Amino acid sequence: MSTDTAAGIPARSATPETPWLTRLDAWWRAANYLSVGQIYLLDNPLLREPLLPEHVKPRLLGHWGTVPGMTLIYAHLNRVIVERDLSALYIAGPGHGAAGLNSAAWLEGTYSELYPHISRDVDGMRGLFRQFSFPGGVPSHASAHLPGSIHEGGELGYSLAHATGAALDNPDLLVACVVGDGEAETGPLAASWHAPAFLDPVHDGAVLPVLHLNGYKIANPTVLSRLDHADLGALLSGHGWRPIVVSGSDPMEVHEAYAAALDDCLDQVQQIQQDAREGGHRGRVRWPMIVLRTPKGWTGPSTVDGHEVEGNWRSHQVPLTAVRENQEHLARLEEWMHSYRPQELFTATGAPAPLIDTLHPTGDSRMSANPHAHGATQHALRLPDVGDHAVTITKPGGERGEATRVLGRYLRDAVVLNAEQRNLLLFSPDEHASNRLDAVFEVTDRRWGLSIEDGDDHLAPDGRVLEVLSEHLCEGWLEGYLLTGRHGMLSSYEAFAHVIDSMVAQHAKWLHTAADIPWRRPVPSLNILLSSHVWRQDHNGASHQDPGFVDHVLNKRPEVARVYLPPDANTLLAVADHCLRSRGLVNVIVSGKQPALQYLDIDEAVAHCEQGLGVWSWASTDLDGDTDVVLACAGDVPTQETLATVEVLLGLVPDLRIRVVNVVDLARLAPAELHPHGITDKAYEEIFTGTAPVIFAYHGYPWLIHRLTYRRPGHDRMHVHGFHENGTTTTPFDMCVLNEIDRYTLALAALERVPRVAGRIGHLRQHLQDKHTAHHNHIRRTGEDLPEIRDWTWTR
């Protein structure tokens, strides 16, 4: 066993064994015993009778290898919470070690308070064991069912980002984050070590990473565990951490060393925060952390069937795999569980024995009951009146504006309104100004804890905008911030939102599960603004052209997923205001940043967004008769091309009866039984008519609209035009032409489906094809769109 530090940081001397340490070891043994029981047992929870095959689960699921380290870390945190009166969260990166966290919550009493049928007695212990990784029970990872958890851990890599987000604007909170050494190999976690560059010791809480090096993943050694000690120290120190190393395999020696290291870390945290809060010391801060080296599967079977297990990859999941069929394995399991001496740990009724029953905090101080973890510490968000930021509309489609620039002024005022309670942050991967949201820099700065040089733009230690060139970090920080009750928005280039596909999917699953847990309060929604979108990435080319993130989100549970495509600035204001006020959702907003036509005044915009979709009568010509064709649109560029199509059509067939439908909320297209925002078939037919062909110009991939409407009456009349992966560096209008959502293609698609013009279709087709030819020749000669395209406005 050794206790030392990297980068020359002295460790506090280990203390001699004391009664509290003996009790702490007993608590740790109890948590490990309960964890093994969850993985293996259906019955006989206290081994009051010889263990039989029928006492064992038929399917053995769970991850034992990481549990002993996680429970040791938990036990020692409980000690310092009591001694120092701390508020602490526990983030478990190795999420499949949830058996250990279930055990901790049961020992603290929180589990039984929230789930009375899992009582603190023999029957409750049996229930705790039986439900784990069992049909109708709870999963093996730290899902929303787990008291005190805000981090699922089913997908690895996000623990330290979540921990950092939870610490932001939580000055009195300690966020302990266990980082598994397998998890540490992921890209998101590797970037997450940058946290010291963004944590503000004045206004933020502290993040205490514990890098748990047990040496192995599921079948291989881990990279960090095999690094030279000095190299690992240099890696962590270079990111701004002061690592203290604790290593060993003798439990009592490790307890002593870990207790000293933890006290050392917390003394350093206290000094850092005191210096910053009293003396104004900022600049680069080196935060303490612990590197814990203990054997994988510690205290479990040392060998099984002649193979090394403890300290080896074979202990990653279930060390004894054939307990029901193999008498030797059954005997080894019984011996293993008895090695924890359960008779010392639990009373005759099965409750925790007095030796350990008080070795944890009480009430909300318990990590499993911390209000920050359950959405119980929220402050209401104050938002400006959208009317104060609205674009004045004198005539639909007659003026241009930059939608996201208008939103930036709204967010600027929101930052001011919430400055005192510090519960609103904005996140972006170096794109806040690029996406025209830079008005916020009139009242705040970009968060930056490193050196600031002449020429740097709006950097400060306490800025309300967090920018780092990692979508993973921005998303993870925002999720941690939201899950602890605060509010925020992430803005990103549309194509690169795919970087966080799986993160958003995991968060959506968490929200869906949490909604059914009564003791979890709904947390503020995850709001993602996608700008610099596919139709105005003509300058960057194909690499920046992908509108598929909305498809990914709408594949998630309908109770959670929302997608909005506001066509102009005032509808963007209405949508953003709605999303920021919402709870428990994933809201995706797609809005361009380039100058574009504006259509609705603020009252019309709010009403249109509340309805989600509707007929634009001011752009339609079927007010007093049957409809020849419906022109539908969703998205700002498709809306412009649809309105231009109206003028093209009326120039060719002046008496054509056209209905224009604009869709803001995509889920409105789905049947009501499939999505809570869906409308009835009757309402759908009133909008889209029961007979007319529908030419739908859509922002993204066409098949999403078909999927949403395939059950609707008259789906065979739905003809969707959208992005077809025909992207390149070209002009804005040529992007539309390449993907067949331009006004001339849409006009031809409409005319082909109006029977009364069939006799003229050849002439009409030629006219429209000639328009394409003129466009093609002009852009290749001049490099820009035709003036009649570039300068087009709605003139009807």
Name the pLDDT band for 435 (thresholds 50, 70, 90): very high
pLDDT for residue 16 is more than 60: no
Rounded to an integer, the average pLDDT of 145-173 is: 95
Name the pLDDT band for 170 (thresholds 50, 70, 90): very high
Cα–Cα separations (whole angstroms), residue 685 to 448, 481, 559, 705: 54, 42, 24, 16
Name the pLDDT band for 19 (thresholds 50, 70, 90): confident
What phi and psi values does residue 697 have, to the nearest 5 degrees? -95, 115
Name the pLDDT band for 317 (thresholds 50, 70, 90): confident
Q: Which two tokens stand for residue 574?
A: 């209405």
Angle at CA 604, nearest 5°, toward 598 and 608? Answer: 95
CB–CB of 585/562 below 8 Å?
yes
Name the pLDDT band for 10 (thresholds 50, 70, 90): very low
What phi and psi values does residue 638 have, to the nearest 5 degrees? -60, -35
Q: Collapse the DSSP code of 66 into the 3-class scheme (helix H, G, I; strand E, B; otherwise coil) and give the result.
A: coil
Q: What is the pLDDT of residue 9?
A: 29
Query: E strands, 206-286, where?
Result: 206-213, 241-247
Residue 750, Cα to own-chain centre: how many angstroms?
41
CB atoms within 10 A of CB 388: 11
Cα–Cα distance for residue pair 427/447, rounded to 1 Å = 10
> What is the per-residue pLDDT across 195-226, written as a single tens digit (0 to 9) for each?
999 999 999 999 999 999 999 998 899 999 99
Q: Which two tokens stand for residue 419?
A: 């400055």
Q: Which two tokens stand for residue 686?
A: 């009133």
Cα–Cα distance for residue pair 280/282, rounded to 1 Å = 6
- Determine the straight-line distance between the first and last CA of the chain, rounded to whole angstroms: 83
Kindly give the pairing relationship between strand 613-615 and strand 658-663.
antiparallel
Spell out the SS3 assignment of 486-526. Answer: CEEEEEEEHHHHHHHHHHHHHHHHHHHHHCCCCCCCCCECE
Name the pLDDT band for 4 (thresholds 50, 70, 90): very low
Report the mean per-residue pLDDT for the chain: 94
Residue 422, Cα to own-chain centre: how many angstroms?
21
Cα–Cα distance for residue pair 353/88, rounded to 1 Å = 25
> Which among 149, 158, 205 is positioned nearest to 180, based on CA atoms?
158
Q: What is the pLDDT of residue 694?
A: 98
- List beta partners, residue 615: 661
Q: Which two tokens stand for residue 103?
A: 């055990």
Q: What is the pLDDT of residue 229?
A: 92
Kindly give the pairing relationship between strand 561-564 and strand 526-531.
unpaired
Cα–Cα distance for residue pair 352/360, rounded to 1 Å = 12
Cα–Cα distance for residue pair 672/680, rounded to 1 Å = 6
Cα–Cα distance for residue pair 311/183, rounded to 1 Å = 18
DSSP 184: G
Q: Which residue has the tokens 């809306």?
A: 639
Residue type (1 letter), 471:
E
Cα–Cα distance for residue pair 345/23, rounded to 1 Å = 10
Name the pLDDT band for 282 (thresholds 50, 70, 90): confident
Cα–Cα distance for residue pair 287/269, rounded to 1 Å = 7
> What is the per-residue pLDDT across 351-377, written as a single tens digit (0 to 9) for each?
999 989 989 999 999 999 999 999 999
Cα–Cα distance for residue pair 285/240, rounded to 1 Å = 7
Q: Collapse the DSSP code of 180 into the 3-class scheme (helix H, G, I; strand E, B; otherwise coil) and give the result.
A: strand
DSSP 263: H
State the DSSP string of 100-124: HHHHHHHHHTHHHHHSTTS-SSHHH
Residue 16, Cα to own-chain centre: how many angstroms?
44
Cα–Cα distance for residue pair 331/333, rounded to 1 Å = 5
Cα–Cα separations (whole angstroms), residue 748 to 140, 740, 768: 56, 10, 7
pLDDT for residue 11 is more than 50: no
pLDDT for residue 12 is more than 50: no
Residue 349, Cα to own-chain centre: how many angstroms?
42
> What is the per-residue pLDDT across 490-500, written as a single tens digit (0 to 9) for each?
999 999 999 99
Angle at CA 140, nearest 5°, toward 134 and 142? Answer: 130
DSSP 424: E
Cα–Cα distance for residue pair 200/449, rounded to 1 Å = 7
Cα–Cα distance for residue pair 622/629, rounded to 1 Å = 9
> Which among 199, 358, 376, 381 is positioned nearest to 284, based on CA atoms?
199
Burial bucket for residue 93 (CB in 10 Å: 0-12, 13-18, 19+): buried
Q: Collapse the DSSP code of 174 into the 3-class scheme (helix H, G, I; strand E, B; otherwise coil) and give the result.
A: strand
- The proportion of the chain whose per-residue pLDDT surpasses 90, expressed as a percent, equals 90
Cα–Cα distance for residue pair 16/257, rounded to 1 Å = 10
DSSP 454: T
Q: Which residue has the tokens 């270079």?
A: 238
> What is the per-residue pLDDT across 483-539, written as a single tens digit (0 to 9) for each?
999 999 999 999 999 999 999 999 999 999 999 999 999 999 999 999 989 998 877
> What is the per-residue pLDDT across 335-358, written as a single tens digit (0 to 9) for each?
999 999 999 999 999 999 998 998
Spell out the SS3 assignment of 652-720. Answer: HCCCCCEEEEEECEHHHHCECCCCCCCECHHHHHHHHCCCCCEEEEECCCHHHHHHHHCCCCCHHHEEE
CB–CB of 108/114 below 8 Å?
no
Q: What is the pLDDT of residue 542?
A: 86
> Which residues, 6 or more positions from 259, have their beta carbon under 8 angstroms from its beta carbon?
14, 15, 21, 24, 76, 79
> What is the per-residue pLDDT across 748-764, written as a single tens digit (0 to 9) for each?
999 999 999 999 999 99
The structure's pTM equals 0.95
Cα–Cα separations (whole angstroms), residue 736 to 537, 598, 768: 11, 19, 15
Cα–Cα distance for residue pair 699/250, rounded to 1 Å = 62
Kindly give the pairing relationship between strand 241-247 and strand 2-5.
antiparallel
Choice among 19-23, 74-78, 174-178 with the minimum mean pLDDT: 19-23
